[in-house]
Structure 1
Amino acid sequence: MDQVKVLVVDDSAFMRKMIVDFLSENPHIEVVGTARNGKEALEKILQSHPDVVTMDVEMPIMNGLEALKQIMQEHPLPVVMVSSTTTEGAENTITAMQYGAVDFVAKPSGSISLDLYKVKEELTSKVLLASRANVRIISRNSKSGKIAVNHWIKPFSHQAPQRKKVIGIGTSTGGPRALQLVLTKFPENFPAPIVIVQHMPKGFTKSLAQRLDALSSITVKEAEDGETLQNGTAYIAPGGYHLLVHEAKGMLTARLEQSPPRNGHRPSVDVLFESLSTVTDYEKIAVIMTGMGSDGTAGLKKLKENAATKVIAEAQETAVVFGMPKAAIQANVVDDIVPLEEIAGAIIKYVEG
């Protein structure tokens, strides 16, 4: 593969040096420049033409969010945010995902992390992945600095579906934006619970749930262990926990556990989908969207072994990263392949059916 040219943006000289040193160890990465703030980053982009930018959030003169907005409007590039794990940092990170950042890496211990080496491999792999992301898709929806929210026009009638339904959604890189475009189209009286795995570390999934809840007609929340799943509510697996669905006496409850990661992921889409495969009194609708790798495919196979499951995969033309949908499609476990804008409609078709 060709070398990936990277611009490193951080107001701390120490952090810039650490990030540059880590990335430069990889033979497939060439650091072509550094910048101390967003304004300088915009100038360096014109000079060095990087393939990927790593972007700190909190910087003087122009912060990372403002710089990200301008990059996506004027010179669309894959941007990986380097974020703090504070509550404010998590909220800024979710905003950055909305503005068009491909992914993020959480600093282990504050704005100047002496232990940044702990995320060295994650940073390197996410930079390489970002270089292959479909930035055209992101920038198309980021020109105004926000994603359009299109609520589904037609509410459900008061007549209940013929059989109880449950929806499972799995996604990773590019997922926050994709989830927003899907969940905001559901009416308040959506007649099924929705369980979601979005690959994210601890602390960030709560901010994601709060943001989606504020934008959606349905309720969106972080899942809690033991709670009963309600219609019209979406439950996001907390970072660091697997989310499973348990069925008893015709009711569904959420179970959280910290068993080992599956294929490097906790939460794992496979774990969620495999738990749904044991649910017998509900029809299942499973959705696999943008993300690297194949998490979800093994779970979809389990779902398909049992009857009454429909599977929807995001089409390549709208996926920021087509890995997870592609793996499911190649495994022949997908019923519908649709662009992101049509996924909500495809779900509703099966819920009404």
Structure 2
Amino acid sequence: MNKIRVLVTDDSAFMRKVITDILHSDPDIEVVDRAKNGLECLEKVKQLHPDVVTLDIEMPVMNGLDALERLMNEHPVPVVMLSSLTREGAEATIHALELGAVDFVTKPSGPISLDLHKVAERLIERVKAAAQVNGRLRRPLGRPGTTFPMRSPLFKQKTAWTLPAQPGTGTPGRTASGTSHPGTADSRVTPPASAIPRRASAVSKLVVLGTSTGGPKALQTVLTALPSDFPAPILIVQHMPAGFTKSLAQRLDSLCAIHVTEATDGEWIQPGTAYIAPGGFHLEVVQVSGGGLKTRLQQEEPRGGHRPSVDVLFESASRLTNVDKWAIIMTGMGNDGTKGLGRMREAGRVISIVEDESTCVVFGMPRAAIQAGLADNIVPLDRIAETLCKLLH
């Protein structure tokens, strides 16, 4: 078996050595060279054609985000980002995943982490997973102003819409109804707290979704294709550490016609809103008298190494009565979600959608559900939203 050839990129000589030593500790990995900035990384990728690149975000000459964008456009190669735990680091990491990075690992103590050994196992795992995706890399997602055709019968007013511009670009944004307002990135109006009902009415439809490696970009593809009047709440587990899910939710919320938020404990869930499990917490859905649904966050032991866990979310959904459910499993390592989907199938009133191998960054989670005989619909990523809308309609 050929070793996984890795190019390590970091502006710190110390960090380059530590990362190299960690990767060399695994017999299946070989570090072929090291680069001290993004420009040098680009040059060495052209020369060496590595299987995987590790890429720091904060570097002189050319930073990791600029280097990543050029790599994805000029020499696509699986990239694992090294990120800090700061808010700025989280936002940059989410942007890197949009640009095409396969996954990321957080430095425990900032740019120079003397304790990087704490995440050694995770780094090796991410590099090995990234090596599996060669040939299935996706180009960066369309920039603001890119029109995406919509074919769902739930789109009542328009057959195409435009992603909102970033503030200051001058490109028209859009309201939830599709009406343009010049220079507005997101024209939805959030009602004052006094106008938000303290108790929600009965919920008869629910979508639950689980994903892991490659998930942030896949979520953007699916959620941006849903209409503002989507008739069900969506509960989401994306395997991601604490501190990053909030940035992910905020980024998706700025792009979607539906509302996207990081879930909080005990909130009533509403149609047309997606709730992302916060890193470090299991997300469950519970039913109260009258048929309303609320979120529940808990920190019981990780399930299969994951907290949040897709299985935990799906199992909680299986306990709901008088609710029609749709379960979606998308790209990711391992088999999280399969046991929970089995519980939902036993309880009845569930239809599943599983991402097709052709569009998965990593086909682990979808493959497990398919092999268990739990996939009612197997569709490529760019048809998941359309399929979901048709099923709910």
Residue identity opposite 2:140 in structure 1: S
**Structure 1: which 5+ residue stretches go unaligned?**
none
Q: Which residue of 1 aligns with 2:288?
A: 248
Instruction: State the Cα deviation string for residues 95-120 of structure 1 (Å, max 9, x = none).
Output: 00000000000111111111111000
Q: What is the CA deviation profile of residues 204-258 of structure 1, one whole-angstrom value per residue up to 9, with x for unaligned ones?
A: 0000000000000000000000000011000000000000000012000000000
Matched, 1:117 2:157: no
Say if 1:342 and 1:67 are closer, same or farther in 2 by CA, change over 3 A: same
Asked whether 1:202 is paired with 2:242, we answer yes
Checking the alignment, whether the CA contact within 8 Å between 2:136 and 2:359 is kept in structure 1 is: no
Q: Give the CA deviation at 1:189.
A: 1.2
In structure 1, the residue matched to 2:148 is 150
Taking a change above 3 Å as real, the CA distance of residues 339 and 144 of structure 1, as seen in their structure-2 partners, is: closer
The percent of aligned pairs where both chains have the same amino acid is 58
- 1:134 deviates by 4.6
Partner of 2:251 in structure 1? 211
1:123-164 Cα shifts (integer Å, max 9, x gaps): 0111011000154341xx328678967374654679xxxx82
Residue among 324, 327, 332 paired with 2:365: 324
Which residue identity is paired with 1:103?
D
Structure 2 unaligned spans of 5+ = 158-202
Q: Which of the two has higher C-alpha Rg?
A: 2
The question of whether the paired residues in 2 share the 8 Å contact of 1:134 and 1:319 is answered with no
Residue 182 of structure 1 is matched in structure 2 by 222
For residues 344 and 150 of structure 1, the distance between their equivalents in structure 2, rounded to whole angstroms, comes to 12
Read off the aligned partner of 2:363 and give its amino acid letter. Answer: F
CA distance in 2, matches of 1:88, 1:155: 37
One-letter amino acid of the structure 2 residue matched with residue 54 of structure 1: T
Q: Distance in 1 between matches of 2:353 and 2:147?
A: 21
User: What aligned pairs does 1:1-353 form with structure 2 within 5 A after superposition?
Assistant: 1-138=1-138, 141-142=139-140, 150=148, 152=150, 155=154, 164-249=204-289, 250-352=291-393
Q: Which runs of 4+ in 1 moved over 6 A?
A: 143-147
Determine helix, strand or coil for the equivalent of 1:261. coil
Q: Which amino acid aligns with 1:232?
A: G
Write the letter of the residue equivalent to 2:118: K
Q: TM-score, normalised by structure 2?
A: 0.85
Kept after mapping to 2: 8 A contact 1:245/1:252: yes
Partner of 1:68, secondary structure, is helix
* C-alpha distance in 2 between matches for 1:25 and 1:268: 29
SS at match of 1:182: helix
**Residues 71-112 of structure 1: CA deviation (Å, up to 9, x unaligned):** 111111000000001000000000000000000001111111
> Is 1:317–1:339's contact at 8 Å kept on the other side of the alignment?
yes
1:156–1:248 Cα change, 3 Å? farther
Q: CA RMSD in A?
A: 1.8
How many residues in Structure 1 have an aligned counterpart in Structure 2? Answer: 346
Aligned residue identity for 2:347: N
* Counterpart for residue 196 of structure 2: none
* Aligned residue identity for 1:167: V
2:268–2:294 Cα contact (<8 Å) kept: yes
Structure 1 residues 242-297: Cα deviation after superposition (integer angstroms, max 9, x where no partner)? 00000012000000000000000000000000000001121000000000110000
Task: Give yes or no for contact 1:78–1:135 (8 Å, CA) kept in 2.
Answer: no
State whether residues 98 and 141 of structure 2, in contact with CA within 8 Å, keep that contact through their aligned partners in structure 1.
Answer: no
Cα distance in 2 for residues equivalent to 1:261 and 1:177: 24
CA–CA separation in structure 2 for the residues paired with 1:148 and 1:296: 33
